[in-house]
Structure 1
Amino acid sequence: MAMTDLAGNKVTLDSGYLTDASMVKVDNKPATIISAVLESTNKYIDVTFSELVYGGSTELLSALEMEDLTAVITNIGGNLNPFSVSIDSVTKTDDTPLIGGESVVRVPLSFAGTRWYKEIK
């Protein structure tokens, strides 16, 4: 059986797992980011979600993947071009692999381009 929730999340169920007493609860809203804390040297961001998160894989309970996230730089003044940021991986906060169903993940980052700050010596 295949279906999607109201948020468009794909859910694939094997009807062999359902019995007469089975109950299926469909989550109709996507997880939201509660907080995102940037590490002091800008090496990673620890992201806390409003609920347990899973990846975009076709498997029902797959782990969150890099492709499920997008790094965005917001210009808060000045010219940041051609500055860019990319996501290197997604792990647990202890840097071990995700298994799916985490509410806090670590997102290591890489930066490229012109610096937007002046180093103080």
Structure 2
Amino acid sequence: MPIRALVVDDSAAMRTFVSSVLESTGDFDVDEVGHGFEAIRLLPRGDYALFVFDVNMPDFSGIELIRAVREQPRYSRTPLVVMTTEGRLGDLERARQAGAQVVITKPFTPAGLLEAVTRARELGGAD
């Protein structure tokens, strides 16, 4: 059975890229949304086993979204990858402190994304 993933990024091109890379493996079934509030609405209805979030979004930052997800017991250890265009150490550390297992800096390759997902799944305790 495919792993259910949620990709959240305000860039449609980036959402499509990430979803395509994940789905191309045959291991993932991906939902994608463009805003943090949309993601929050999906959480109760989804049974997600992986999250991939952008940090910089207009309505609800990726850091806020991580915190909101981690507050829910069912998602407290779900593997979570954060994408950012900013490689500043402070931003990376804030994402990790909020609960992201892995932070990946844009631009990245398909192989880099899959490596980040694998690391997050190992750190998050996924099978």
Largest Rg, 1 or 2:
1
More helix by share: 2
The TM-score range, normalised by the shorter chain, is under 0.3
- TM-score, normalised to structure 2's length? 0.24
Structure (1 or 2) with the greater strand fraction = 1
